[in-house]
Amino acid sequence: MTLPRLPLVSFVVVNHNYGRFLPELVNAIRAQSYPEIECILVDDASTDDSIQVITRLIAEDPALRLVALRHNVGQSLASMAGWEAARGAYVAFLDADDLILPDYAATHVYVHMSSRRHVALTSCDMFQALDGRAVVATGEALNGYFAAHGSAGAEWFRPVDVTGGLWPLGLPGDDVLRHVAYVPPSHSRWCWSPTSGNVYRRDALEVLVGMAGLDHLRMTTDVLFCAGTNCISGSLLIDRPLAVYRLHGDNLATVRSQLDNVRVMRAGSECSQQALRLLIAHFLSEAERIVPRFWHAASYVEAVESLGRTLGEGGDPNFLPAAILQYGEALTAAMGQDTLSAWMRRHELIVEAKPEPVLSALSEPSGTPTDSVPYVSTELASLPELPAQPEASEPMALTVASAHPDVSDPAIPSALSTEQKSSVARHENHGVLHRFAEQIRRLVGSRSSYAAKTIEDVVR
């Protein structure tokens, strides 16, 4: 009997003007103790010598693959371009200025394959180094989760090496499985390591394909990927540093090693709330495609609620209710009126099974009344503005060099349409209309004088 081969791990290195760091990182990838790997270098329109450096690296190792982007699109779109080119069942996105230890891939895959829960990602701890010397060996968020929740326990794992020889590498460490914590889908507050500490199931990231607004999220992609997949399938934290976060003065987001009660991020570089808003808008606007991925619509609802709770804890509790209203048509088609109505009642939103059409969009006084629908839809300034479709005549990505010419150029995710329908339900009961008016006032506030006047007319 021939045993299946070990799974392929795709390393996606996202680079912009970090050519001086690339050789050391590529050598660290080559030095992995895990044999089944591929490396894809995504250059985000660098203006330094990155392309020349990568060309030399490919000359030394033709198995390396390059995806060169024509325009600088930021970390999120560059990462998705790398994901589309990746062929492995597991994908690690590495910042070009970071490093990984020799047992990085082996440990991540070993934990994934030994786990009785089939999670979206594993996240290891990371050293924080300055000028080539380690300063901190424990990341704050990951270790805070361990301190609060502890390890999952031995019963959560069956070591893959005892299953008949599939794992020929030996253990990555005798006690690694005793020091792994489980993060359930209901937990979306940040508890993972930065970008280079995480290894994802490739199929877990499929839910984010076609996501609009990624051109506006030029960093904080790790929040997008970790929160956006954990809310569906959960994750595992590995209490072992397997990567190195290098501080060198030119980091985009971080200016110093972590120190309690001291800010380490550059001003304006914290985009977690923006990432969560984009995730919620994507999950709702794409409900007809995403809901069937779940066994039950209730699991989909809880995934979105998990994101909404974290966003609310960060100071934006009204975004999720407003988004449910805005994307009500897609939600109705995806989960049915009864399920959507129950979800809306959870947020104390007005639901009418058979409303009569009364008004067009609140923000458009000259609009035409639309068909009756079992939800209220409003255009709110707080919802993310979706970008226009990229020009098809000028692709963003170009494969410059590849040892696998059969791999086509990765397409940058296409944007969604911005056209949204709006309608307002009328009910004969005057008390229900007052509740409706208060709900819309709370969500719209003073953003639209026409909406305020319309509300008063409806109540009268």
Per domain, the residue ranges of the chain are 9-269, 277-387+427-459
Q: Which run of H or E residues covers position 247?
A: strand 235-247
CB 280 within 8 A of CB 308: yes
Residue 182, pLDDT above cutoff 70: yes
**Residues 256, 42: Cα–Cα separation, whole Å:** 26
Residue 307, pLDDT above cutoff 80: yes
Beta bridge partners of 94: 13
What pLDDT, on a 0 to 100 scale, did the predictor assign at position 384?
A: 43
Query: Residue 187: what residue type?
Result: H
What pLDDT, on a 0 to 100 scale, did the predictor assign at position 446?
A: 37
**296 CB-side CA count, 13 A:** 4
What pLDDT, on a 0 to 100 scale, did the predictor assign at position 358?
A: 26
pTM: 0.77
**Residues 147, 424: Cα–Cα separation, whole Å:** 49
First-to-last alpha carbon distance for the chain, in angstroms, is 78
Find the length of the chain. 460
Q: Which two tokens stand for residue 182?
A: 């489980």
- Give me the mean pLDDT over the 274-300 stretch: 95
**Residues 108, 91: Cα–Cα separation, whole Å:** 11
Domain 9-269 has CATH 3.30.70.270: no
Q: Which run of H or E residues covers position 134?
A: strand 133-136
Name the average pLDDT for the chain.
Answer: 79
**Residues 294, 205: Cα–Cα separation, whole Å:** 14
What pLDDT, on a 0 to 100 scale, did the predictor assign at position 267?
A: 59
- Which ranges in 358-460 belong to alpha helices (H)? 430-444, 449-459
**Residues 201, 41: Cα–Cα separation, whole Å:** 19
What pLDDT, on a 0 to 100 scale, did the predictor assign at position 107?
A: 96
% of the chain exceeding 70 in pLDDT = 70
Residue 416, pLDDT above cutoff 90: no
CB 38 within 8 A of CB 68: no
3-state SS assignment for residue 100: strand
Which of the four pLDDT bands, split at 50, 70 and 90, describes residue 255? low
- Tell me what percent of the chain is helix, strand and coil, each rounded to the nearest 5: 40, 15, 45
What pLDDT, on a 0 to 100 scale, did the predictor assign at position 154?
A: 86
What pLDDT, on a 0 to 100 scale, did the predictor assign at position 251?
A: 56
